[in-house]
């Protein structure tokens, strides 16, 4: 179902302009972890407000998750399964800053390769999709209203990011795995100094050229409280690093500007080549995606509804969550466009971290959380649609195949997937 409403123009990460009634949380047995032998008992249960302490808490939670995932892979009886996930073939996704220079260059070279390969999408369907990279952007635009604030949000983006990683590997000779951007680290250093965005040859390219006189980005409104985000330190075209010359071909669809308004180019599917813009905004990173926010997201929600909503921001709460936090930290075009955001190659490092936080949260109580789903097939259930279930299909269109069911996408070490995060 293609929901390309004028409503879209008012839609923003972390908030929407029309307050749709939210479905009630799905019943889930309360997580009770009071057994004395519980290995999680040494883990933090509340996030420290001291971000340095919270960074350590995040490390503890992440290494617990890795041990937990390792031991479940090690103990799963894989004798009868072909191509099963084992410790031998388990992929490890790492933080960008922990990769060597040549590993980072191998990654960005593979992305440039994807951008140079012909699209699979027929131009009659998406005339602006010019490359394999654009196939992913086009699929995301096409499905935006059915993959955010839905029951599929986490799993859809897991499959999407994995499929992109597979395209880099299978179509562009990349031998590594999808790296991630740890927002907690860039909140400490300032985004401009983060190895992800410092503009060096071994970054994901840096800031846009400074545009003076920018005002605020305004989210919300139409009955919801407004959220004002300050402008960043760039705003113009990205001129350094591997993506200095890349062309953003699709969109905009719902692009927030730094004067409180937003723009669109119709359905965003026509060919509209322009430079990649960024407006790195440490204030947004520090406010919405600091180490405390990440630990809070992992330790507080006891059901997946709360987890998804905390991550994306409860509409009206004034919080855009770590999901909106990361997107608006990048800023620019397409960084501030919910529909077109995969047009910035750093999208996949951001969603690597989104997937990592979900994975850590799942590992804290795998028997209850691996298959936990809550939500429907439409953005905040507007218009109303059936609940997402394990049988709900996820189809990535011309970006990748095959269509799978939610059931296949819930675990990172079963079904088609075999990876963990360190």
Binding site for ligand NAG (CB under 6 A): 1-2, 23-24, 26, 51, 63, 66-67, 70, 87, 90, 121, 125-126, 138-139, 142, 257, 259, 261, 286-288, 290, 292-293, 296, 387, 397-398
* Shortest separation between residue 35's beta carbon and ligand NAG, angstroms: 22
3-class SS of residue 237 = strand
C-alpha span between 217 and 205 (Å, rounded): 23
Give the DSSP per-residue string, 10-53.
G-BTTB-SS-PPPPPPPP--------TT-GGGGS-SS--SSHHH
* Inter-CA distances, 400 with 92, 144, 157, 362, 378, Å: 22, 16, 13, 26, 22
Which CB atom, from 204 or from 418, has the smaller least distance to ligand NAG? 418
Q: CB count, 10 Å around CB of 270? A: 13
Nearer to ligand NAG, 117 or 200 (CB): 117
Q: How far is the CB of 151 from ligand NAG (least distance, A)?
A: 9
Which residue carries 């191509």 as its tokens?
83
Q: Pick the closer one to ligand NAG by CB: 295 or 330.
A: 295
Asked if 71 and 399 count as a contact pair (C-beta separation under 8 A), the reply is: no
Of 204 and 298, nearer to ligand NAG (C-beta) is 298
Smallest distance from ligand NAG to CB 242, Å: 28
Q: Are 83 and 415 in contact (CB under 8 A)?
A: no
Nearest distance from residue 385's CB to ligand NAG, in Å? Answer: 10
Nearer to ligand NAG, 242 or 321 (CB): 321
- Cis amide linkage into residue 420, ω under 30° from 0: no
Minimum distance from residue 396 beta carbon to ligand NAG (Å): 9
User: Is 182 within 8 Å of 208 (Cβ atoms)?
Assistant: no
Closest contact distance (angstroms) between CB of 256 and ligand NAG is 10
Nearer to ligand NAG, 161 or 310 (CB): 310
Report how far residue 326's alpha carbon sits from residue 331's, in angstroms, rounded to the nearest whole number.
9
Considering the complex, state which of residue 1 and residue 37 has its C-beta at the smaller distance from ligand NAG: 1
CB of 65 to ligand NAG, least distance (A): 8
Determine phi and psi for 110, rounding to 5 degrees: -65, -35
**CA proximity to 119, closest of 275, 242, 249:** 249
Shortest Å distance, C-beta 109 to ligand NAG: 25
Closest residue to ligand NAG: CB criterion: 293
Rounded to the nearest 10 degrees, the angle between the axes of helix 291-299 and helix 304-312 is 160
The nearer residue to ligand NAG, 64 or 109, going by C-beta atoms, is: 64
């Amino acid at each position: 179902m293609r929901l390309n409403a004028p409503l879209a123009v008012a839609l923003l990460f972390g908030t929407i302009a029309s307050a749709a009634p939210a479905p009630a949380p799905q019943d889930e047995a309360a997580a009770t972890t009071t057994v004395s032998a519980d290995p999680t008992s040494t883990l933090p249960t509340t996030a420290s407000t001291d971000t340095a302490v919270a960074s350590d808490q995040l490390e503890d939670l992440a290494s617990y998750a890795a041990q937990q995932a390792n031991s479940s892979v090690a103990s799963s009886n894989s004798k009868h399964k072909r191509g099963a996930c084992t410790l031998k073939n388990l992929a490890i996704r790492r933080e960008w800053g922990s990769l060597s220079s040549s590993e980072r260059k191998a990654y960005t070279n593979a992305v440039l390769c994807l951008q140079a390969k012909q699209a699979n999408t027929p131009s009659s369907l998406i005339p602006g999709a010019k490359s394999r990279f654009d196939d992913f952007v086009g699929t995301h635009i096409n499905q935006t209203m059915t993959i955010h604030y839905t029951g599929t949000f986490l799993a859809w983006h897991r499959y999407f990011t994995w499929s992109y990683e597979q395209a880099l590997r299978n179509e562009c000779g990349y031998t590594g795995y999808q790296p991630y951007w740890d927002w907690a680290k860039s909140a400490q250093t300032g985004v401009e100094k983060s190895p992800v965005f410092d503009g060096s040859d071994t970054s994901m390219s840096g800031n846009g050229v400074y545009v003076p006189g920018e005002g605020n980005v305004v989210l919300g409104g139409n009955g919801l409280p407004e959220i004002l985000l300050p402008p960043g330190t760039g705003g113009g075209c990205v001129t350094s690093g591997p993506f200095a010359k890349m062309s953003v071909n699709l969109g905009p669809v719902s692009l927030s500007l730094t004067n409180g308004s937003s723009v669109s180019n119709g359905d965003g599917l026509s060919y509209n080549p322009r430079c990649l813009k960024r407006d790195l905004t440490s204030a947004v990173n520090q406010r919405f995606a600091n180490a405390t926010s990440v630990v809070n997201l992992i330790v507080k929600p006891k059901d997946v509804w709360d987890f998804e909503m905390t991550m994306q921001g409860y509409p009206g709460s004034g919080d855009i969550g770590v999901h909106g936090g990361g997107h608006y930290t990048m800023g620019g075009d397409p960084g501030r466009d919910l529909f077109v955001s995969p047009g910035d190659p750093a999208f996949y490092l951001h969603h690597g971290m989104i997937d990592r936080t979900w994975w850590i949260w799942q590992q804290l109580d795998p028997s209850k959380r691996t298959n936990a789903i809550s939500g429907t097939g439409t953005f905040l259930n507007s218009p109303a649609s059936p609940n997402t279930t394990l049988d709900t299909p996820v189809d990535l269109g011309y970006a990748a195949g095959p269509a799978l069911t939610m059931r296949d996408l819930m675990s990172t070490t079963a079904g088609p997937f075999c990876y963990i995060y360190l």
